[in-house]
A and B are shown apart, each in its own frame.
Chain A
């Protein structure tokens, strides 16, 4: 029989306790996990935008987690709202009722965002919208949980109306989708265009998934406008452009942030997209203060899909949420309170300042035109230089 001496026993005890001690030391060093949610269209026709936004948000989380100075280890919970209000309500209810999720970066589509703002308020879940531009999302209520880094569509339409007037266009037709987003686009387009003394010959609204536009385009052709204004998102916009050409309608197409991004040019084809003008609440990534750093990091992360127009906004929204958690801790109420004080916060798109409705008030509306299959800032384009001409110029 083996007898164990006192010394041997002590050594054995020490050896067996050591891993426990180191284990607990590891645990003490490990950061607490904090969950934040990203919501956007990951399937369906608008998925290029949703995936670009998701990749950008993921990039922000990766960068934050790689920083040894942060207090928490962040986990991004990604959910697909399919750009449908009913699905958006389901997924937002899901994240809002999950107490382990402390904040969210939701929505590309305005129609979805306007359907879910009440849920964020009811469940006291702070959020920062990354793309939807309908004014009512922040301004219809004064919900302390609701914030938005992207601009609102009022500015786009004001700048758009002034731009078109300056080119000499006078006769317009409005073609918008029949969602809240399209209605709001049409409302502000009509307001600013008529204020400028220009004429709207007709207004058309169709469901965003309508395929056949021939009856509407027949009427538009009869009205013979100089400009067709489009208030809607990429799939319908590309369909409108394609079918306009098939009907021999030579009007200039005026868009807005809903068609901004590579997806529109890919869907309509570079030839048909050529010369389309649009107005978007941000300069191109290359001209943003931190644009190069973002583009380089995005490339280095190896994403095969482009960030699209709102990727940088998803990135800054996610960064902002994580910075706030670092300051206030992973607590919904404290994060909400901390977000209310965001003022002149530096970001890759310029400083962020939330007004009393949680709306970022500093976006810069920029004019764009498609030239050779790429969106270009108007001032840098051959159109502005007079080498190329917009359609139907009076």
Chain B
């Protein structure tokens, strides 16, 4: 098993993407008690926005670093607008409805987004080649091959997790978010503009999805209209297993899921087509053991 380092790196890359997706789920749930199932499709929307931005900047003859920044900026902006829009027009009016209605509604929004990409994006039914904007190649340490682009993306992903954590815990907006998460009525009495904090919270959660979508495109050099589906299921699972409503739980859940998938292939290569099955079975066992997640949500630490 001289390839442990390599598997760790693969797991880290996938775990970063899963963790970013799971973080969005946990932010929405922590503040509004909403399971926003369109999250994966917002990620896809962001990734396609990033792709269009690369096409546009490339056709203008702008250098690769500008294309790279444009991809992330467009993806994050588009997903932020989509997330804020969903919360303002659909979640807020329904906030007193039963949670099941909300779940159903967000699932339907996700389907609309997904099908809209499939039907209206040029050649949208086919996978789209995402241009390579990061240096290709890599280097060997022992028997492990370290992809340069993977290392950059992992660092960027972890940094973005840090930034979100900082926003929630160190800024005024984060304080308002946490106050709303604690008690909406008291927060309103204390002068927090509820109608502004909620869409901004959804925008923040969705930005992480847009960011993850672009990382995905850059790492795999390919995006497709259905990519958000499985990512949403895995991200949601990661959020639950970590402890829904707890950011660290979501991140641990993301890395755990990626670790389980990688472990199955590393330990039993011939069983690689069962890797999702194994990972989900183990997660089911974990949830049965700790129904509230590995890091259970505590009142004082929501979001």
Residues of A within 8 A of B (CB): 43-45, 47-48, 178, 202-207, 209-212, 214-216, 218-219, 221-222, 235, 239, 242-243, 245-248, 267, 269
A212-B220, A216-B269 in contact; A222/B3 too (CB < 8 A)? yes
Q: For residue A206, which residues in chain B have a CB less than 8 angstroms away from its CB?
A: 272-273
Nearest B residue to A41, CB-CB: B125
A248-B137, A248-B145 in contact; A218/B126 too (CB < 8 A)? no
Contact residue among A45, A205, A210, A219 (Cβ-Cβ distance under 8 Å from B3): A219
State whether the Cβ of B222 lies closer than 8 Å to any Cβ in chain A.
Answer: yes
Asked if residues B129 and A205 are in contact (CB atoms below 8 Å), the reply is no
Q: For residue A216, which residues in chain B have a CB less than 8 angstroms away from its CB?
A: 265, 269, 272
Asked if residues B265 and A45 are in contact (CB atoms below 8 Å), the reply is no
In whole angstroms, how far apart are the Cα atoms of A85 and B73 in the complex? Answer: 40
State whether the Cβ of B61 lies closer than 8 Å to any Cβ in chain A.
Answer: no
In whole angstroms, how far apart are the Cα atoms of A206 and B271 in the complex? Answer: 9
Asked if residues A242 and B221 are in contact (CB atoms below 8 Å), the reply is yes
Most buried by B among A204, A210, A222, A243: A222
State whether the Cβ of B67 lies closer than 8 Å to any Cβ in chain A.
Answer: no
Residues of B within 8 A of A (CB): 2-3, 6-7, 10, 13-14, 118, 125-127, 129, 136-138, 143, 145, 147, 149, 220-222, 224, 226-227, 261-262, 264-266, 269-270, 272-273, 275
A74 CB to closest chain B CB (Å) equals 28
Contact residue among B118, B221, B266 (Cβ-Cβ distance under 8 Å from A215): B266
Asked if residues A218 and B10 are in contact (CB atoms below 8 Å), the reply is yes
Nearest A residue to B17, CB-CB: A212
In whole angstroms, how far apart are the Cα atoms of A216 and B143 in the complex? Answer: 15
Nearest A residue to B148, CB-CB: A246
Nearest A residue to B225, CB-CB: A44
B35 CB to closest chain A CB (Å) equals 24
B259 CB to closest chain A CB (Å) equals 11
Complex A-B: 8 CB contacts under 8 Å: A43-B125, A45-B125, A211-B220, A212-B220, A216-B272, A219-B3, A242-B220, A248-B145
A45-B126, A215-B7, A269-B129 in contact; A247/B270 too (CB < 8 A)? no
Q: For residue A207, which residues in chain B have a CB less than 8 angstroms away from its CB?
A: 273
Asked if residues A203 and B270 are in contact (CB atoms below 8 Å), the reply is yes
Q: For residue B143, which residues in chain A have a CB less than 8 angstroms away from its CB?
A: 222
In whole angstroms, how far apart are the Cα atoms of A214 and B153 in the complex? Answer: 15
Nearest B residue to A48, CB-CB: B126
Asked if residues A219 and B136 are in contact (CB atoms below 8 Å), the reply is no
B157 CB to closest chain A CB (Å) equals 15
Q: For residue B262, which residues in chain A have a CB less than 8 angstroms away from its CB?
A: 214-215
Asked if residues A211 and B273 are in contact (CB atoms below 8 Å), the reply is no
Asked if residues B13 and A214 are in contact (CB atoms below 8 Å), the reply is yes
Asked if residues B227 and A215 are in contact (CB atoms below 8 Å), the reply is no
A-B contact sample (11 more), CB < 8 A, given A215-B7, A218-B6, A242-B220: A43-B125, A44-B125, A209-B226, A212-B14, A214-B14, A215-B261, A215-B266, A218-B265, A242-B221, A242-B222, A246-B147
Asked if residues A219 and B129 are in contact (CB atoms below 8 Å), the reply is no
Asked if residues A178 and B126 are in contact (CB atoms below 8 Å), the reply is no
A225 CB to closest chain B CB (Å) equals 13
Nearest A residue to B149, CB-CB: A246
Asked if residues B270 and A204 are in contact (CB atoms below 8 Å), the reply is yes
In whole angstroms, how far apart are the Cα atoms of A209 and B224 in the complex? Answer: 11
Contact residue among B2, B10, B126, B226 (Cβ-Cβ distance under 8 Å from A222): B2
B268 CB to closest chain A CB (Å) equals 10
Asked if residues B129 and A45 are in contact (CB atoms below 8 Å), the reply is no
A208 CB to closest chain B CB (Å) equals 10
Q: For residue A215, which residues in chain B have a CB less than 8 angstroms away from its CB?
A: 7, 10, 261-262, 264-266, 272, 275
In whole angstroms, how far apart are the Cα atoms of A239 and B223 in the complex? Answer: 11
Asked if residues A218 and B273 are in contact (CB atoms below 8 Å), the reply is no
Q: For residue A218, which residues in chain B have a CB less than 8 angstroms away from its CB?
A: 3, 6-7, 10, 265-266
Return the 7 tightest CB-CB contacts between A and B, nearest first.
A215-B265, A214-B10, A178-B273, A43-B125, A218-B6, A205-B273, A219-B269
In whole angstroms, how far apart are the Cα atoms of A162 and B87 in the complex? Answer: 61
Asked if residues B126 and A47 are in contact (CB atoms below 8 Å), the reply is yes
A93 CB to closest chain B CB (Å) equals 23
Asked if residues A246 and B265 are in contact (CB atoms below 8 Å), the reply is no
Asked if residues A204 and B145 are in contact (CB atoms below 8 Å), the reply is no
Nearest A residue to B229, CB-CB: A209
Q: For residue B147, which residues in chain A have a CB less than 8 angstroms away from its CB?
A: 246-247
Contact residue among A45, A212, A246 (Cβ-Cβ distance under 8 Å from B127): A45
A270 CB to closest chain B CB (Å) equals 12
In whole angstroms, how far apart are the Cα atoms of A221 and B199 in the complex? Answer: 47
Nearest A residue to B265, CB-CB: A215
Q: For residue B264, which residues in chain A have a CB less than 8 angstroms away from its CB?
A: 215
In whole angstroms, how far apart are the Cα atoms of A120 and B13 in the complex? Answer: 47
B280 CB to closest chain A CB (Å) equals 14
B203 CB to closest chain A CB (Å) equals 27
Q: For residue A243, which residues in chain B have a CB less than 8 angstroms away from its CB?
A: 220
Q: For residue B137, which residues in chain A have a CB less than 8 angstroms away from its CB?
A: 248
B235 CB to closest chain A CB (Å) equals 14
In whole angstroms, how far apart are the Cα atoms of A239 and B275 in the complex? Answer: 18
Nearest B residue to A44, CB-CB: B125
Nearest B residue to A207, CB-CB: B273
Q: For residue A203, which residues in chain B have a CB less than 8 angstroms away from its CB?
A: 270
In whole angstroms, how far apart are the Cα atoms of A212 and B126 in the complex? Answer: 17
In whole angstroms, how far apart are the Cα atoms of A216 and B7 in the complex? Answer: 10
Q: For residue B275, which residues in chain A have a CB less than 8 angstroms away from its CB?
A: 215
Asked if residues B125 and A267 are in contact (CB atoms below 8 Å), the reply is no
Q: For residue B125, which residues in chain A have a CB less than 8 angstroms away from its CB?
A: 43-45, 47
